[in-house]
Structures are given as C-alpha cells and as structure tokens.
A and B are shown apart, each in its own frame.
Chain A
Amino acid sequence: MFSKKNCFKNPFSLQIIFLYFIIIVFLILLVVPSSSVASPKDYSDQERLLSFWFGLSSSETPVIKKSVSENQSTVSQNQNKVTFNRNLKLGDRGRDVLRLQEILNQDHQTRVASSGPGSPGNETEFFGSLTHSAVVRFQEKYRSEVLVPANLNRGTGFFGPLTRNKINQTEKTQTVSGSLMNPNLIKPPKRDNFSSLDIDLGSSDDFMLAFPSKYFGPHFTSLEIIGSGFSNRVGNLKVLFGNDYSIDSVNVINDGKISVRIPSSIPRGEYQVRVSDGREIAFGESFFIITRPSDQPPKIDSISPSSGKYGKTVVVRGSNFTTDNTIMTTYNEIKGVVSDNGQTLEFKMTPLSNNPEVEALVLTGKSNLENTTDVYIYIKNEKGISAEPIIFELEI
C-alpha cells in the first residue's frame, strides 16, 4: 500500500496528500505578501495623529540640506518645486507624497480632502485612500494624456510614469504662472487639530502643557497653548510668564487648547511659560520671546564646515544675529554666542554632556567609530528663532 509505485499511481494516497499539503503551504507563503492584508485603514489612526505634527511641519518648513532620501523623488529646498521620479501607490510614504497632495489640492476637482488630514494646509506624507481617489480624479481629468495612451478608460490611482509626467508638466506651468504662490503652501503650520490628537493619545484629565503655537512675537500677539485638562479648569487658568508675570485672561478653546493675548505690561524678553489653575502648575513648560514689532528673526544662510567632529569650530552665516545668541541643536543649547556684525556666528560643536567616555574617545582620535549623525541647528535671540534649521553632519 505504501510502496512508491502505488503511492504515485493513486492521487489520493496519504503520501500524495501530504505532498500536496507541503506544496500548498509553500506556495501560499510565497504568494501572500504582508502588504496584501495591510489596508490603509491600518494606518489611519496613526496618520490622523502624525499628520498633525509631521505632515504639516515637514511640508512647510523645509530643512536646508543637499539631498533627501534616495528612494524619494527630488524635493528642492524651497519645496515649491519637485520632480517626481518614482511611482507612488497606496501605502507609500515620503515628502514627494506630501508634495503630490499639495499639487492635487490646488485644483478643487482633484482636492484630496476638504478638511482634516490631506486637506489644503493639512497635507501628509502618506499615500492613503484619499490621495488615491484624488489621483484617480486627476487621471480622469487629464484622460487624453494619462489614460488614453495606456488604453485605460478609468483612473487607477496608481501614480505611474504617465501621471507623473502630467503632474510634472502641470506643476511647471503653475510655477511659471505663479499659481504656486498659493497661501496654503506658505502659511505657517496650523496646529488646530489637537482635538483629534488628544483623542488618539487617549483623553486625559491630566493637566499638561505640551507646546505653544509660536515661540516669539510682539505685544498683543495671540498665543495658543496646546496641552490637556483645560476645560475643567475654566475660570481658574493663568498663563505664567517667568516668575513675575501672569496672564489671567485665558480663553479656553477646548480641553486641549487655550489662547491668550500677550499684554504690553510684560516687558520684552524671553520668558519661561507655564500654565496654572491657581492650585497646581501644569506638567510641562515652554518659552516665549516678546519681540519688537519691527524685529526680524535670525535667518541662517550657510554653515561652514558642514561636517566635523565634536570640538570643531563652526561658522554660521546669515542675518539678524545679535550680541547674545543661543545655538539650539538637536542635543543641546550653546548660549551667549556673540555676533559682532550681525551676519556671522562662530562657535564650537560641544560634546554631549552626559557621555564623557565616548566624547573622550572622539576628541582624542582614539575612536574607531566611523559614522555621522545629523545635528539640526537653529539660532535664537531677542528677535526670535530662525525659521529653518541647518544641518551639521557630526562625525562620531
């Protein structure tokens, strides 16, 4: 019964059944990719949360750096031009996706969303179902140039070569005509989606200050503070500026957001900002710099050298520097850096304060580690904070 001869003659023998079983398992494991069961919905909650912070910030505040990730399309420094050179599909991520959404949002027929993530000013780096639908509408709008050459009747949502060519052309035309000066593209990030953020993080009774809507501005600036636990403290909230000043007139927008107007009674300068309900102070703190109305914040044009080890002397060139600047890096703050001419700043890349062993190896040249890490640098002074960071490649 179990002889080889019998076994292969009879397709229902136990051995053959077992063989079928092994082959089928193998084939299924090969054929079923992980992504086939990962729908865009898997990311939707994450996306709602992350678009709040990442999508907006990264789109509208580009970093001065020579290149972006190799697997993404080329994004220029000013973000107003992009050449799409990779295909995009559902589930993809990247700055090129964000730029694609921005372009699609310029035409009401191809708008990604009218509100929330993906809407004008709220573009994200995720190619989800909304982007897919918008690409379909774009393809159908330019049917003769995108669909007809591919013998298609309906849009597919796949951002392939024909669609890319068309959108590259569209963007070129719009750049020339100036329609890319859409205020949606240049306005500062909106941070009014905190209610959805709060939900995603889990509604909390915790009394917290997360971050302000801005970090500097003149008197009478309207300042929003994002946090949590505000709504059940209505009437008692105060925003403290340093130890000496308090703003009692606090407008509670929702449980996660309050706003105040900076009164002229508080002198110009930088203040630690906290929120109090009269009994306790909210967890977390931030800062705000009250500037003159005519002040222009520091601006960074270049850094030289753009890479080096700890201890390297670095020169930053730009404008609106003062005699008392703070270098804000990814790792630390370097205070009291003087600029004599308002256009150059010189300082040393200081070691990381809490890892002396590694620093000692690096500084004495005994480290056998060969790697670089990006250090993002901002300049802060009495006039404000530089809008864009510049990157120093730290050799470690």
Chain B
Amino acid sequence: MQKKYLFRTFVILILLTFVFVGVFYHKQKEVQSQSPLVFGGKITFWQECSCTPGPGSFVITITGTNPGTFLFLPGRSIPFREYQHARIGVWALGNYTPGAVCLTGKFCIPATPPPIGTIHQIGTSF
C-alpha cells in the first residue's frame, strides 16, 4: 500500500515539475515575443494601409543598419522628434514588435513588401 502511494506521489511531483517548467517557459516566450526589436536606417518607401488596419496607418521601409518594412499604427506607434516618420529620405530609429498586416488599394490587397512588425517607438532626423 505504501509503495502505491509513493509511486503516485512521485507521479504528482513529476507532473508538477513539467507544469512549472512549461508555464514559465511559455511566459518567458510570451515576454520575449512582446519585447520590442530595434530598427534603424533611412526611410526609402512609404505606403498607406487604406483598408487594414485603417486610416492613418502606413508602412515604411527602412534601408540601412537594421532594415525592414514596418507598420505605423496611430495610437499604438509613438512618434518622437523630428516626427518625420512618413517622409522618404529621413533617417529613422526605433523599435517594433513582430507581427503586422497592411491591406491597401482599391481591392484591399496586402502591401508589398509586407511589414514584419508594428512600430512601438520611432524617432527621425529631418
């Protein structure tokens, strides 16, 4: 009888270990995925996302040190000086979280190149 309880206690402990490790790993991943990544370089392309996410949102393509195409979403993306974040030719620096969609044009097709993330903060030169 005691052996049976010992075995079941052992099973409980193993399961609990898996649960704790799994939950913390999951949370860690969640935090990592929410941590902003850095972009930086010259704005070389601009396109408005007229369908989705909606008015005022646009994508910019950055060429340079940390390049990519990113979605600027009013209310979620925070602009900083010199606030030229939709102008081609200026230097931009900021951070973003992965994941974004931009549909545009008469037929609401995905913008090309597609954005790789949503801008969290962006500062620019003149």
Contacts and interface: CB of A to CB of B under 8 A. Distances in A.
Contacts of B48: 352, 354-355, 358
Given A43-B35, A284-B91, A373-B74, A328 B126 contact: yes
A50 B95 contact: yes
B40 to A, nearest CB: 5
Interface in B77-113: 79-87, 89, 91, 93-95, 104-106
B80 A12 contact: no
Contact of B19 (A25, A215, A372): A25
B38 A357 contact: no
Nearest to A56: B81
A355 B35 contact: no
B80 A53 contact: yes
Contact of A354 (B16, B47, B54, B95): B47
Given A37-B27, A37-B31, A284-B42, A396 B80 contact: no
A376 interface: yes
B19 to A, nearest CB: 5
A298 interface: no
Interface in A118-141: none
Nearest to A376: B83
B50 A201 contact: no
B55 A201 contact: no
A285 B34 CA distance: 33
A60 to B, nearest CB: 9
Residue of B30, B40, B55, B79 with most chain A CB atoms under a 10 A cut-off: B55
Given A211-B91, A332-B87, A42 B31 contact: yes
Nearest to B36: A46
Contact of A21 (B19, B47, B56, B84): B19
A355 B65 contact: no
Given A46-B35, A331-B86, A373-B74, A396 B56 contact: yes
A57 B123 contact: yes
A53 B4 contact: no
Nearest to A377: B83
Nearest to A29: B23
A202 interface: yes
Interface string A46-58: 1001100110011
A204 B65 contact: yes
Interface of A: 12, 14, 17, 20-21, 24-25, 28-29, 32, 34-38, 42-43, 46, 49-50, 53-54, 57-58, 61, 63, 197, 200-202, 204, 206, 208, 210-212, 215, 228, 283-287, 328, 330-333, 352, 354-355, 357-358, 369, 371-374, 376, 378, 385, 389, 396
Given A206-B64, A376-B82, 17 more contacts: A12-B9, A17-B8, A21-B19, A28-B23, A32-B27, A50-B94, A50-B121, A53-B80, A54-B80, A57-B82, A201-B65, A201-B66, A328-B84, A333-B87, A355-B48, A358-B55, A376-B83
19 contacts: A12-B8, A21-B15, A24-B19, A25-B23, A28-B20, A46-B35, A63-B83, A201-B66, A204-B65, A208-B64, A284-B64, A284-B91, A328-B84, A330-B83, A354-B46, A354-B48, A357-B50, A371-B74, A373-B74
